[in-house]
């Protein structure tokens, strides 16, 4: 269905805090994705293109929408509702406290997959008479508010866990996020300690 929100309600007027944990190891991003997110229909895996010369991309960001504060919007330009830009602004309206000592350049937020159909909302270009017959079976925009993520810092050889947490100590969603920290830290330690495939050595002639 268009414009669906899931899995849970927003935090309301309560402030959120971005909390983080650091793991002094750099498990392969593909191993992290396979172990933690491969079976999720809303999994994402992003790699930055900002890198020094002769080095790999610095950050890999992986996650899904299994957290208690995650939201998902599927936008259909044919539905008489708010535009995709308006919905993104609504998702970002929640106040969040960002720690000054955050060890990476990513602080969660929205992750979007935007289709070409959004040009009609963005530019006002009219649709042709046969436009509806060519409508894609996929959402014209898929917008995720990520409340958790695993960030691999390839430059420093470490992994950062991020989670949005309600400030109230008694909030069950805060406890759920802290359980995720503990579970994911253990999973990453297991991945980091396991042998990983490498390139096969060249065969001797």
Per residue in 159-201, pLDDT (tens digit) is 999 999 998 888 999 999 999 999 999 999 999 886 655 444 4
Q: Does the pLDDT value for residue 44 go beyond 70?
A: yes
Distance from chain centroid for Cα 77: 23
**pLDDT at residue 24, rounded to an integer:** 93
pLDDT in tens, 62-113: 999 999 999 888 777 666 566 656 766 766 667 789 999 999 988 998 888 7
DSSP 132: G
CB-based burial, 12-27: b 16+ in 10 Å, e otherwise:
eeeebebbbeebeebb
Fold of 16-124+134-191: Anthranilate synthase (3.60.120)
**pLDDT at residue 140, rounded to an integer:** 74
Residue 131 region by backbone torsions, left for phi larger than 0, else alpha for psi between -120 and 50, else beta: alpha
CB-based burial, 114-131: b 16+ in 10 Å, e otherwise:
eeebbebbeeeeeeeeee
- For 169-183, give the secondary structure using H, E and C: CCCHHHHHHHHHHHH
Q: How far from 135 is each of 1, 81, 131, CA to CA, in Å?
A: 15, 18, 7
Q: For the chain, what are the domain ranges?
A: 16-124+134-191
Instruction: With beta carbons less than 8 A apart as the criterion, state whether 69 and 164 touch.
Output: yes
pTM of the model: 0.77
> Whole-number mean pLDDT of the chain?
78
Instruction: With beta carbons less than 8 A apart as the criterion, state whether 67 and 147 touch.
Output: yes
**pLDDT band per the 50, 70, 90 thresholds, residue 10:** very low
Residues 24 and 19: their CA atoms lie apart, in Å, by 17
Number of separate helices (H) and strands (E) present in the chain: 4, 9
Give the CA count within 13 Å in the CB-facing half-sphere of 91.
28
DSSP 59: E
Structure tokens at 99: 């720690």
């Amino acid at each position: 269905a268009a414009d669906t929100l899931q899995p849970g309600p927003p935090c309301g007027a309560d402030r959120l805090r971005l909390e983080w944990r650091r793991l002094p190891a750099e498990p392969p991003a593909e191993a992290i994705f396979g172990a933690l997110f491969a079976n999720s229909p809303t999994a994402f895996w992003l790699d930055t293109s900002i890198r020094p010369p002769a080095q790999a991309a610095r950050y890999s960001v992986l996650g899904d929408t299994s957290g208690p504060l995650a939201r998902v919007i599927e936008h259909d330009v044919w539905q008489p509702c708010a535009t995709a830009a308006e919905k993104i602004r609504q998702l970002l309206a929640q106040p969040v406290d960002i720690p000054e000592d955050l060890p990476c350049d990513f602080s969660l937020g929205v992750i979007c997959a935007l289709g070409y159909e959004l040009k009609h909302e963005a530019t006002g270009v009219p649709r042709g008479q046969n436009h509806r017959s060519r409508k894609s079976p996929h959402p014209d925009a898929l917008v995720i508010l990520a409340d958790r993520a695993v960030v691999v810092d390839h430059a420093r050889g470490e992994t950062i866990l991020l989670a949005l947490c309600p400030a109230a100590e008694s909030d069950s969603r805060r406890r759920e996020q802290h359980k995720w920290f503990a579970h994911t830290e253990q999973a990453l330690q297991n991945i980091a300690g396991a042998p990983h495939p490498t390139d096969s050595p060249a065969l001797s002639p």
